[in-house]
Amino acid sequence: MSDYLLIRNVLPFKNKSASKELIDLLIGQDGLLEQVGSKIKAPTNSKKLDLKGAYLSRGWVDLHTHIYHGATDISLLPDQIGMQTGVTCLVDCGSAGEANFEGFRRYIAETAQEKIFSFLNLGSIGLVACNRVSELALGYRSVDFDRTLKVVETNRSLIRGIKVRASQVITGDLGVECVRLAKKLARISELPLIVHVGEPPPLLDDILPVLEKGDVITHAFNGKAGGNIMEDPHTFALTKEAKSRGVVLDVGHGKSSFSFEVAKFALKHGLSPDVISTDLHSHNYQGPVYDFPTTLSKLLTLGMSLEEVIECVTTSPRLVLSEPVNENWLVPGQPA
C-alpha cells in the first residue's frame, strides 16, 4: 500500500484567481484528497513535499493533440505528453475517423492513464497517412454520414466534437463545402465543430459565418499567407465578431500554425484566445512545441496573465467538452 502524500505551502487557483494564503494538502493512500488546510499534521507513513509558495491548479486539458499511436503516422503515446507535463486530459483532434475509431477507443482511450476524448474526423479514414494521403482525397466519397453518425452515437462518452481540416492541401476541390458538411454532421450529432484553418482556400472569411456558439477555430493565430487574421482588417473584424457570438478561438500551436507576430497583434487589439492547446504530434514534440508548459510560457511572454492562461487550460476547454467545470475542486474526497 502506498504512503500518504503531504503537500505543503501551495497557492491554489480557485474562481479564476490564485489564493494569497498558503495551504497544505493531504492525499490519502487511495489517491483521494483527504485534508485541506494550514499546517496539517503529517501521518506517520507520509511522504512530504514542500512547494514553497508554488501555484497549484486543477489538471490541465490539452484540447488539440494526436495520440492514436500506431494507427497514424503522426501520433504520439498519451504518456509522452500527459501526466508528466501536468496534463490530465488529452483530446485527440481528428486522428480517427469512423472507419478506425474502434481501435482508438480500445487501444488508446481505454488504456491511458489520462482522461481521453476525441474530436472525430469528418473523413472516414482519419489521419492514417496525414498529409501524404488526405482524409478528403476522394471528395464526397471520403465522407459517410450514416457510418459516422452511428459511431458517434455508440461512443458519446468519448466523442465530444467533429473535426475538419479546412486548408487547400486537405480539402482539394471541396473547398468550404467540407466545413458545411462537417457542420451538418455536428448539428445532427448535437456536438461542437472544430475547424483547422491554414492555407486557403477555403478562406477564413467564408468559414467563420458557418460556425455557431461552441464551435472552435484551431490554429487561430497562424501566420499563413491569405489565412491569418493580421493581414486583412476585414478578416480580423469577422474573427472578433465570431468570438463575440461564442465561437471559441484555440491556439493549436502545431509545427507551423502559430505566429508570435499574429498572436502579439491579436492580443494588442483585444483578441485573446479562449483555449490554449499544443497540436502535439510526432513532428513537433522535439520542437518547436516541445510540451504543454512551454506553450503556456509563450502566451505568458506575449502578455497574457497567469490567471488568463490557467483559465484557457482548465475551465474553457472543459466547457467545450461539456465536462463539469468544478470550480470547488479542493474538497476532501475528490481525486487528487
Q: Among 56, 76, 98, where does a domain finish?
A: 56
- Say if residue 296 is in the same domain as residue 168: yes
**Which letter does DSSP use for residue 261 in this model?**
H
**Is residue 170, in this structure, part of any structural domain at all?**
yes
- Say if residue 92 is in the same domain as residue 146: yes
pLDDT at 18 over 90: no
- Say if residue 28 is in the same domain as residue 66: no
Residue 316: exposure state from Cβ atoms within 10 A (0-12, 13-18, ≥19): buried
**Is residue 135, in this structure, part of any structural domain at all?**
yes
- Say if residue 270 is in the same domain as residue 292: yes
CA pair distance 259, 246, nearest whole angstrom:
23
Determine the Cα angle at 297 with ends 292 and 299, to 5°. Answer: 105
**Is residue 331, in this structure, part of any structural domain at all?**
no
Its domain, for residue 35, covers: 4-56
**Is residue 332, in this structure, part of any structural domain at all?**
no
Residue carrying the nine cell digits 492513464: 113
pLDDT band at 1 (very low <50, low <70, confident <90, very high): very low
**Is residue 40, in this structure, part of any structural domain at all?**
yes
**Is residue 199, in this structure, part of any structural domain at all?**
yes
- Say if residue 51 is in the same domain as residue 77: no
Helix (H, G, I), strand (E, B) or coil at 231: coil
Q: What is the pLDDT of residues 55-106, one digit of tens each?
A: 999 999 999 999 999 999 999 999 999 999 999 999 999 999 999 999 999 9
pLDDT at 43 over 90: no
- Say if residue 299 is in the same domain as residue 281: yes
Among candidate residues 54, 51, 22, the one with its CA nearest the CA of residue 39: 22
State if pTM tops 0.85. yes
| DSSP string covering 54-67 | EEE-SPEEEEEE--
- Say if residue 176 is in the same domain as residue 198: yes
CA pair distance 10, 19, nearest whole angstrom:
9
Counting the structural domains of the chain, the total is 2
- Say if residue 86 is in the same domain as residue 8: no
- Say if residue 26 is in the same domain as residue 174: no
- Say if residue 177 is in the same domain as residue 29: no
Residue 312 is predicted with a pLDDT of: 98
Please, are residues 166 and 96 in contact by the beta-carbon 8 Å criterion? Answer: no
- Say if residue 147 is in the same domain as residue 51: no
CATH number at residue 66: 3.20.20.140
Return the sign of the alpha-carbon dihedral for residues 173, 220, 215, 59: positive
Among candidate residues 309, 196, 308, the one with its CA nearest the CA of residue 257: 196
Please, are residues 62 and 89 in contact by the beta-carbon 8 Å criterion? Answer: yes
